[in-house]
Chains A and B, each alone.
Chain A
Amino acid sequence: MSTTAPHSLADVTASDGTLRRFLHGLPGVDAVGLEARAASLGTRSIKTTAKAYAIDLAISMVDLTTLEGADTPGKVRALGAKAVRPDPTDRTAPATAAVCVYPDMVAVAKEAVAGSGVKVASVATAFPAGRAALGVKLADVRDAVAAGADEIDMVIDRGAFLAGRYLKVHDEIVAVKEACGTSARLKVIFETGELSTYDNIRRASWLGMLAGADFIKTSTGKVAVNATPANTLLMLEAVRDFRAQTGVQVGVKPAGGIRTSKDAVKFLVLVNETAGEDWLDDHWFRFGASSLLNDLLMQRQKLATGRYSGPDYVTVD
């Protein structure tokens, strides 16, 4: 992918000016065309074996999440149990990828999923607003990592981004990445609903990847517009292009608003036909969704038994 940046990618972050020129030199996004493409991929008809494969894949990609002020150790333990064994009636159902909790619950979650391979992710950096001093954010991250978090979900400073202070956003991500050390992977949340334009989302994606994000993630799930097929398609194009240019593969996580199996399958079609099968794996693609899991499980039961069950045949945790 060509850009107007005069230097190699390493020099892009030399100053606010070079970074700005690079990000604004990325090809534009035509909103109508982007949304039309996302809609047309949404008409793929996924049946029988392909559907069974997609549902299991989607379950294995879920970051089972509880992010409430009212979270308690009991709630987190219940969530952990569900992540490890989502369907108590059918042990062939795969485990979810991770449980996602606030930093103070990491230790509890870690214990709940111990030995299962399920990861513990934590939303550090003054989630969801991100309105705190860098020192506070970094302390938040270090706390979570020290408690054993395998993954850190950070929010970017949308205020700085919208004000055009890209280098500040970049440096903050770099600092958080450093605080993650070698033990935790970093997911960078853009809050796409607040970035508002597709051009901004593409710029944020590249900014996040240049700063060392392991994952780029749409949103916190706490605002009106969260993950959409179009913004996820755009981010998939970004990781695909970034790998083509740098050789570095970055994961993608749409979060918020994905509630049905049908929607989840549509997102997997986007992955399959945009970034490709290298991303069809829980190491490179995740769903940030809590209510999605039960619908996936009900669809899975339907495929296995030929009958629809109902909400009482899946757990409420």
Chain B
Amino acid sequence: MASAFEYAPAPESRSVVDIAPSYGLFIDGEFAEAAGGQVFKSVSPSTEEVLSEVARAGAEDVDRAVRAARAAFGKWSALPGAERAKYLFRIARIVQERSRELAVLETLDNGKPIRETRDTDLPLVAAHFFYYAGWADKLDHAGFGPHPKPLGVAGQVIPWNFPLLMLAWKVAPALATGNTVVLKPAETTPLSALFFADVCRQAGLPRGVVNILPGYGDAGAALVAHPDVDKVAFTGSTAVGKEIARTVAGTRKKLTLELGGKGANIVFDDAPVDQAVEGIVDGIFFNQGQVCCAGSRLLVQESVHDEVLDALKRRLSTLRLGDPLDKNTDIGAINSAEQLARITALADQGEAEGAERWSPACELPSSGYWFAPTLFTGVTQAHTIARDEIFGPVLSVLTFRTPDEAVAKANNTPYGLSAGIWTEKGSRILAVASRLRAGVVWSNTFNKFDPTSPFGGYKESGFGREGGRHGLEAYLDVR
């Protein structure tokens, strides 16, 4: 008998997904090469293996795609809502049918564990299409006036942390409300969006309604600046968001921005400790912490600091880091070398500024981009790691003494996307939640998403809401 329970590897099969050696841009229902003939490579972050070569969109391609979307807009927006709903329901069902394939693809391209793509990303992607399909024929009753109109062509730019989920958040409400779409996925994770293009074809979606342009920031900038785009939706970094806001300022374009965050996860002394520890882990180590609403600042009441930290460290020692395709892996790879360098630099700065660094004993694979789960204790509001978004598996632990202090510290950030409250006292949850300047406040849980629930930020975390009935507003003319 072995001395301990070692789990044998349980890798998900790669054979369920067929990745072509090269992909084009998806414009007007066809895959096409980039006008400039440029291509780039998409690599798997866990192995640095080149997965495929992808056409790189330039300004000329953006123009072509926007024209295709404009041409499709008339017919698409004129369809009865119930007809549009049929397409969306069809897409949702195809996503469900192909969910294993898409989950494996997403894990290969992004580096996140299959456990998360299988159990979180893909079910939510389907749920968003189902949810907004349900709204398509009820827009007159959504509270935006008797006959709200679509805006036109939506230019959408999405990040690499949840490639397919962010696509769903943007495409589903846009189509449900009668808009057409030009979407640019991130340069490190273009593949699932290209597979989604295939899903659109499979669903028989009319040509030009959805166009997908893999590319870099220049393509995104061209899309945002294109004069025939009526609506811009962006999820990504605050710096780029500010740039986009400048570009769009003074035009007729409507804009929503989902930007960075530095979420506070507040643990009071009467919290359910074991569940709070799980919530802290979910808050900062879900998707390797590459989550804009991550609970990256743990605010723990001084009286239970040692107890919570002991429990948290013990728990981190059971996290399993490694091959993201292994069904038992909890922590996968960081998305890119560039992101890994940023996380490393910020963590080093935390150490240099005097915070105490801790990681569980953890062997990192020799190839790919990896960062061990990391805690910083003794962090104060004056530390860089308490202020800057790290976007990685790094938790800063701060303390507070009273609810007022907790609220003051939680709100003392340029961001305002998410927050968490852990207490057994219901009245305290309500009292504290109402004072937190954050778009989402979770109580006794963290990082839970649902298509019916609006999501969005305060301050430098952006404006506008995605999800829920509120998410329709961003794609409707509601004068």
Contact = CB atoms under 8 A, between A and B. Distances in A.
A53 B8 CA distance: 10
Interface string A249-284: 000000000000000000011001100010010000
Given A27-B272, A37-B278, A45-B328, A32 B445 contact: yes
Contacts of A277: 3-5
Nearest to A265: B5
Interface string A47-70: 111110110110000000000000
Interface in B323-372: 327-328
B10 interface: yes
Nearest to A53: B2
Interface string A26-46: 011110111011000001111
A28 B327 contact: no
A32 B444 contact: yes
B6 interface: yes
A176 B65 CA distance: 80
Interface in A44-100: 44-51, 53-54, 56-57
Contact of B5 (A43, A45, A54, A237): A54
A36 B442 CA distance: 16
A48 B274 CA distance: 31
Contacts of B271: 27-28
A8 interface: no
B195 to A, nearest CB: 25
Query: Counting chain A CB atoms within 10 Å of each CB, which of B3, B272, B279, B304 scores highest?
Result: B272
A56 B1 CA distance: 8
Contact of B275 (A33, A54, A272): A33
B7 A34 contact: no
A1 interface: yes
Nearest to B279: A33
Contact of B445 (A33, A50, A56): A33
Given A50-B6, A51-B8, A43 B115 contact: yes
A33 to B, nearest CB: 3
Contacts of A45: 7, 10, 327-328
A305 interface: no
B119 A43 contact: yes
B307 interface: yes
B124 interface: no
Contact of B274 (A29, A43, A44, A51): A29
Contacts of A273: 318
A268 B5 contact: yes
Contacts of B5: 50, 53-54, 57, 268-269, 272, 277, 280
A27 B307 CA distance: 11
B139 interface: no
Given A33-B274, A50-B5, A237-B274, 18 more contacts: A1-B273, A2-B307, A27-B271, A27-B274, A28-B272, A30-B444, A33-B279, A34-B274, A43-B327, A46-B8, A50-B8, A53-B2, A53-B6, A268-B5, A269-B5, A272-B4, A277-B4, A277-B5
Interface of B: 1-10, 115, 119, 270-275, 278-279, 303-304, 307, 318, 327-328, 424, 444-445
4 closest Cβ contacts across the A-B interface? A33-B275, A45-B10, A30-B275, A45-B327
20 contacts: A27-B270, A27-B271, A27-B273, A28-B424, A32-B445, A33-B274, A33-B444, A33-B445, A36-B278, A37-B274, A37-B275, A43-B115, A44-B7, A46-B8, A47-B8, A47-B10, A57-B1, A57-B5, A269-B5, A277-B3
